[in-house]
Amino acid sequence: MQPRALRWTGLAVAALLAACGTVESLKPGMTRDEVMARWGQPTRVVPLAFGERLQYVYQPFGQETVMVDIDPAGRVVQARQVLNERDFARISTQGDWTGADIDREFGPPASVGSVGNWDGPVLTYRWRGGMVDQMFYVYLDRAGVVRRAHAGMDPRQFRQER
């Protein structure tokens, strides 16, 4: 892509995100309809024991995923951006988290791949931590249970322009 086209694409994405608002604009007590009017259709709607979760996922190239929890009455309970160190630290590698838990808590990953020394899928999330582009890797075993998870640097930041 030409530099000029990249600049216009970046401006368009920034304008789109500004039009959507910020996580802070989603206040507890807002109606589901108000959220949809502000943010548009979610990437997915996930049923929860106490209502539903609207997932706004900006993977594979974005670095945010916003979860909006809605109660049975159709009101916002909480809204938060979950691709961060604190939320990743909640992931258990002791056999009590599954791929379904990861999907519910973090949404679809930027990619699903494999590595030579692991016999199962590796979910990869792009995020920004400490002003650095990063990746977060979640290793599932063949049964879909989380066995490893760790952060790493985003290799895109090491590419040189040619």
Q: Do 73 and 53 share a structural domain?
A: yes
In 3D space, the residue among 124, 85, 118, 120 whose CA is nearest the CA of residue 102 turns out to be 124
Indicate whether 51 and 106 sit together in one domain.
Answer: no
pTM beyond 0.75, yes or no: yes
**What is the pLDDT at residue 160?**
56
| Chain segment 107-145, per-residue pLDDT in tens | 999 999 999 999 999 999 999 988 899 999 999 999 999
Do the domain assignments include residue 90? yes
**What's phi and psi for 7, nearest 5 deg?**
-60, -45
Share of the chain above pLDDT 70, in %: 83
Residues 55, 99, single domain; the answer is: no
- Mean pLDDT within 85-102: 97
Q: Report how far residue 34's alpha carbon sits from residue 6's, in angstroms, rounded to the nearest whole number.
A: 33
Tell whether 98 and 133 lie within a shared domain: yes
For residues 69 and 120, state if they share a domain: no
3-class DSSP assignment, residue 134: strand
Regarding whether 108 and 71 lie in a shared domain, the answer is no
- Cα separation, 148 vs 141, in Å, equals 9
**pLDDT confidence of residue 130:** 84
Residue 15 and residue 25: Cα distance in Å, rounded?
A: 16
We report the CATH number of the domain holding residue 104 as 3.30.1450.10
Contact between 86 and 139 under an 8 Å Cβ cutoff? The reply is no
Residue 55 resides in a domain: yes
Which one is predicted more confidently, 154 or 32? 32
The least confident of 18-27, 41-50, 64-73 is 18-27
CA–CA separation, 151 and 133 (whole Å)? 11
In-domain check, residue 9: no
Domain enclosing residue 100, as ranges: 85-158
Q: Answer yes or no: do 117 and 65 share one domain.
A: no
Domains held by the chain: number:
2
101 part of a folded domain:
yes
